[in-house]
Amino acid sequence: AVLFAAVAALFVLYFIGNKPTNSNGNQVAASDAVASAVAYVEMDSVLLNFDMFSDKSEELMAKQTAAENQLNAQGNTYQRNALDYQDKVNKGLVTRAQATEMEQALYQQQQEILALSDQLQAELLEEESVMNNQIMEYVSTYLEENKDIYNYQYILAKSFGGVVLYGDEAHDITQSVIEGLNKKYS
């Protein structure tokens, strides 16, 4: 839908929009006016070189490590309990009723670990989604606040496998955007 709207806007600008005149008083082709009004940034480069993305990625990695440590601790406890159960059953130190209770407790502990794993994974996915939204909001706000500097009407995000397959390097404002974002962020 967004791509369709952008194509429709370019179509309107090309065929219907007011055609600017050059210094000789002749009309300049609308495609020239549109081309100068469109810029793009390589989003992969922006993300890799934007300090905010690095900081937030490090925070997310720290949370992931903490979650893994919590899960590993519970897994180690379960493993010790399972070995203890097996040892007691093999040596005949517990009755069948006690063994059944221990099995049920181990099963419950296993289910709790699986639930914890699912919960932690969902939390990390949500954190990553929020992080990505925060980064994109920051970039969009920066571009909106500085549109006079870049002098564009539209700015496209170009990334590998995205909908923008080619962009003339003359309209690539990636490096300037990265520098501006990092300056604002610091």
pLDDT tens sequence across 103-157: 999 999 999 999 999 999 999 999 999 999 999 999 999 999 998 888 888 899 9
pLDDT digits (tens, 9 = 90+) for 62-111: 999 999 999 999 999 999 999 999 999 999 999 999 999 999 999 999 99
Q: Which helix (H) or strand (E) holds 11?
A: helix 2-15
DSSP type of residue 158: E
Please indicate, yes or no, whether the overall pTM of this predicted structure exceeds 0.85. no
- DSSP states of 43-110 as a string? HHHHHHH-HHHHHHHHHHHHHHHHHHHHHHHHHHHHHHHHHHHHHHHHHT-S-HHHHHHHHHHHHHHH
pLDDT digits (tens, 9 = 90+) for 24-52: 444 444 444 444 578 899 999 999 999 99
The answer on pLDDT for 9 being more than 70 is no
CB 177 within 8 A of CB 143: yes
Tokens of 15: 């065929």
Report the pLDDT value the prediction gives residue 108, as an integer from 0 to 100.
97
The string over 58-83, giving b where at least 16 C-beta atoms fall within 10 Å of a residue's C-beta and e elsewhere, is eeeeeebeebeeeeeebeeeeeeeee
